[in-house]
Amino acid sequence: MYNKAYTKMKRFSSYFCAVFALALLFSLTPSSADSHEKFVQCLYDYPENTSISSVVYTQTNSSYSSVLDVSIQNLRFFNVSSKPVVIVTPLVVSHVQATIICAQRHGLQIRTRSGGHDYEGLSYVSGVPFVVVDLIKIREIEVDVENNTAWVQAGATLGELYYTISQKSRTLGFPAGVCPTVGVGGHISGGGYGFLMRKYGLAADNVTDVHIVDVNGNLLNRKTMGDDLFWAIRGGGGASFGIVVAWKINLVSVPSTVTVFRVPRTLEENATGIINKWQRVANKLNESLTIRINMARVNSSQSGNLTVQAQFESLYLGRADDLIPYLQKNFPELGLVREDCTEMSWIESILFMAGFTNGQSTDVLLNRTQLNGLSFFKAKSDYVRDPIPDVGLEGLWPFFFDDEAENAFVQFTPYGGRMDRISESETPFPHRAGNIFHIQYGVSWFEKGDVAAQRHVNWIRRLYNYTEAYVSKNPRSAYLNYRDLDIGVNNNGHTSFSQASIWGFKYFSNNFNRLARVKTRVDPRNFFRNEQSVPPLGTNGRK
């Protein structure tokens, strides 16, 4: 019955289908007797494509664990007991459509995974019976150098995207994240930033079209999805709204030669004073220049004691000969000299920032394994609107000397430039003008078990508690792509707008209201949900 209906559905326009299919789905309320065998049979019976049987992995399949584990990027979620009943690795859109239809029919939740970098593992861990749709095989990239655009499928990584662009042009780039293994599916739908943000904005700001499969199994594009859904998935996270299959993006110009540096300054070398000055200039510098700071503990060369090192990492879209006098004038405290600087192509700067500093070939960008391997990891984020005074920084340093902080970092990323000229409601990502910089706090560890995990998580929570006085307030803001379940979760899957508001306004500010309205239109029964998904409004728009 549903087969016939869905074949028929495809002939109608998307808005019509949405209404039609909704009525249909109400008659398909899953019964608890349904098992994953029936779900798998449903996939096999899906009309459009029989080859789906080659991409369905049940728990008894000998490849199940390797398929699940290959994209897990955080050891905290490696051996969890709540694993998917089935993993589907679609080859084509019809496999995605079949999985969405059959999962609803048989009472299974879907978690969509592209690169698997979600900090809380939400793309492959769930407390209820669920299916992982893993887009690892949907990752083609087509670069159009004539029009400076590209179509990139959701399962591609940033490294694959940057590599493919560089094969076509030395003077085109894309403003997205630093780590090449990150998936474009999650990254772009949650914002996505890197060293080109001050000049070109976020990855999501440079999306011009999207292909997404909605809860009714319809493949939509920018025209057919409606302006509100197109708005929502460029910063609001894809997971609440459907399964993104591909993005069309604008490529941006980069000069054929750029300059990078990485300049370390310890506390003994006046790191506190230099950071103080950085906070007053970093967001006002020429937008072709981005200087971010990575703070971590190191052994002091002077005393053999521990100290904190602030590493000033920078990309300048120009030559070193222009950069040095510019910084001597605007940020002399850093003491940059010619020897600190290296000129290279933009793609080489991607390797440099990703930590490939031994002259590796750009092929390493195609490797989906993180350079330094995996660790147990927890992170949090903040935005800063007024400079943190020296006393605030000085209170931060002792945290680095705690045992738990051996592999911890605090990263300051400057805003300003293009980010100041994009309105807060242009996309769901609200952190624009008024922010001087963004903070990420992270802690890694290698010791297994709950005790070690709890110690490290407690450490970062204490640090976060300490910095409260110095960061954005009402709400204390956070970056969706640095997912943090500490800031609030939906109530046991029974989502309410008021419960979700606890975390929703931190990630999205007032855009959260509009996100909930979009959700209400496109997924009113809240099929696409997770611990921090956007909830639909209750009947009659009730909050």
Ligand X SMILES: *[C@@H]1O[C@H](CO)[C@@H](O)[C@H](O)[C@H]1NC(C)=O
Ligand Y SMILES: Cc1cc2nc3c(=O)[nH]c(=O)nc-3n(C[C@H](O)[C@H](O)[C@H](O)COP(=O)(O)OP(=O)(O)OC[C@H]3O[C@@H](n4cnc5c(N)ncnc54)[C@H](O)[C@@H]3O)c2cc1C
Binding positions for ligand Y, rule: CB under 6 A: 73, 111-119, 122-123, 135, 154, 177-179, 182-183, 185-187, 189-194, 237-239, 243-244, 481
- Minimum separation from the CB atom of position 473 to ligand X (A): 14
Nearer to ligand Y, 114 or 259 (CB): 114
Using CB under 6 A, pick the residue from 42, 55, 143, 410 that binds ligand X: 55
Tell me which of ligand X, ligand Y, none is bound by residue 115, counting a contact when its beta carbon lies within the kind-specific cut-off of 5 to 8 angstroms: ligand Y
Between 100 and 239, name the residue whose CB sits nearer to ligand X: 100
299 sits near ligand X (criterion: CB under 6 A): yes
CA angle 306, 311, 315 (to 5 degrees): 170
Q: Which of ligand Y, ligand X, none lies near 61, with the C-beta cut-off 5 to 8 A by kind?
A: ligand X
Residue 187 near which of ligand X, ligand Y, none (CB within 5-8 Å, type-dependent): ligand Y
**Which one of 168, 280, 462, 525 is in contact with ligand X (CB under 6 A)?**
462
Q: Which is nearer to ligand Y, 243 or 258 (CB)?
A: 243
Least distance from C-beta 272 to ligand Y, angstroms? 26
Closer of 239 and 267 to ligand Y (Cβ): 239
Minimum CB distance to ligand Y, residue 460 (Å): 15
Strand partners, 440: 381, 411
User: Which range in 34-42, 97-105, 409-417, 459-467 contacts ligand X by CB under 6 A?
Assistant: 459-467
In the complex, minimum distance from the CB of residue 531 to ligand Y, in angstroms, rounded to a whole number:
9
CA distance 217 to 211: 12
Per CB under 6 A, the list member of 74, 104, 157, 288 interacting with ligand X is: 288
Region binding ligand X by CB under 6 A among candidate stretches 58-66, 104-112, 161-169, 340-348:
58-66
Instruction: Please select the residue that binds ligand X; options are 12, 78, 409, 527, rule is CB under 6 A.
Output: 78
Residue 453 touches ligand X, criterion: CB under 6 A: no
192-195 long-range contacts, Cβ below 8 Å, gap at least 24? 192/481, 193/413, 194/353, 195/290, 195/292, 195/315, 195/349, 195/353
- Give me the residues paired with residue 413 across strands: 438
Q: Note whether 189 and 178 are within 8 A (CB).
A: no
The values of phi and psi at residue 520, to 5°, are: -60, -35
- Cβ-contact 85, 58 below 8 angstroms: yes
Q: Report the distance separating Cα 486 and Cα 391, nearest Å.
A: 27
d(CA 84, CA 70): 14
79 near ligand X, rule: CB under 6 A: yes
Is residue 64 part of the annotated active site? The answer reads: no
Binding at 182: pick from ligand Y, ligand X, none (beta carbon under 5-8 Å per type):
ligand Y
What one-character-per-residue DSSP string does 37-49 give?
HHHHHHHHH-TT-
Pairing of strands 306-316, 437-445: unpaired
Dist CA 148 CA 297 (whole Å): 42
Report the number of secondary-structure helices (H) and strands (E) in the chain: 17, 18
Q: Which of 30, 273, 335, 524 binds ligand X (CB under 6 A)?
A: 273
Q: Which residue is nearest to ligand X (CB)?
A: 273
- Closest alpha carbon to 279 in 353, 334, 217, 359: 334
Pick the closer one to ligand X by CB: 49 or 513: 49
Pair 471, 383: CB distance under 8 Å: yes
Q: Among residues 107 and 237, whose Cβ is nearest to ligand Y?
A: 237
Catalytic residue among 2, 162, 470, 482: 482
- Concatenating the DSSP letter of every residue in 413-436 gives EE--GGGGGS-TTSSS----TT--
Residue 391 CB: number of other CB atoms within 10 A?
A: 9
SS3 label, residue 441? strand
- List interacting residues with ligand X (CB under 6 A): 48-49, 51, 53-57, 61-63, 75, 78-79, 91-92, 94, 144, 146-148, 200-201, 205-206, 250, 252, 270, 273-274, 276-277, 286, 288, 299, 303, 305-306, 317-318, 322, 333, 367, 369, 371, 401, 418, 422, 448, 461-462, 465
Active-site residue numbers? 482
